[in-house]
């Protein structure tokens, strides 16, 4: 895979080589599942740029985690339709998992999460998902689509029953039932 021009954390070259890296960051600038406001597709680029200002040392671990190698690759070509996006996500993750990489997807809107979860479940058999969000995203259909951002946790619960939601402050009547 081609290296991204703005690597996560901007580490020295020896720590971002794809072949040696244990961790791979994949920007996935998709916002086809949003219902309000644009800009989610700009998030991966903004995070990559801002990450260069972070320090490498982790005081809890007493080490620099980047020493395991953190490669950042170019975003794949992402179809605009939700089904095509999820297929692309799954294939991208599957290919990296086959190379024994720990994959971090950087979205975009959170409708991308179901494709990532499906590939991880396929690889490892068991999967738990922790959602940090203000909204439950448990709707069956939203704006006419079961693949909307507002449905992502409903789709993930079809993949695994092991989910934990943290920070939820707002749910719909449908989600409460």
pLDDT value for 109: 86
Per domain, the residue ranges of the chain are 13-176
What would the mean pLDDT of 88-110 be, rounded to a whole number?
94
Q: Quick one: CA torsion of 8, 54, 163, 61, rounded to 10 degrees? A: 110
- Tokens in use for 99? 């190379």
Comparing 39 with 153, the larger pLDDT belongs to 153
pLDDT value for 156: 97
Averaged confidence pLDDT in the chain: 93
DSSP states of 118-138: HHHHHHHS--EEEEE-SB---
What fold, for 13-176?
3.40.800
């Amino acid at each position: 895979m081609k290296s991204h021009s703005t690597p996560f954390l901007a580490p020295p070259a020896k720590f971002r080589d794809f072949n040696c890296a244990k961790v791979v960051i994949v920007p996935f600038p998709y916002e086809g599942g949003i219902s309000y406001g644009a800009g989610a597709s700009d998030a991966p680029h903004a995070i990559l740029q801002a990450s260069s200002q972070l320090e490498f040392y982790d005081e809890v671990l007493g080490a620099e985690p980047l020493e395991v190698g953190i490669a950042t690759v170019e975003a794949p070509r992402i179809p605009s339709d939700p089904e095509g996006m999820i297929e692309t996500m799954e294939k991208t993750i599957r290919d990296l998992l086959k190379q024994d990489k720990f994959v971090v997807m950087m979205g975009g809107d959170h409708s991308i999460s179901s494709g990532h979860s499906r590939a991880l479940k396929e690889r490892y058999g068991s999967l738990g998902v922790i959602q940090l969000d203000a909204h439950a995203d448990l709707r069956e259909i939203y704006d006419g689509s079961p693949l909307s951002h507002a449905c992502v946790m409903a789709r993930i619960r079809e993949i695994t029953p092991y989910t934990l939601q943290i920070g939820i402050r707002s749910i719909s009547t449908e989600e409460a039932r």
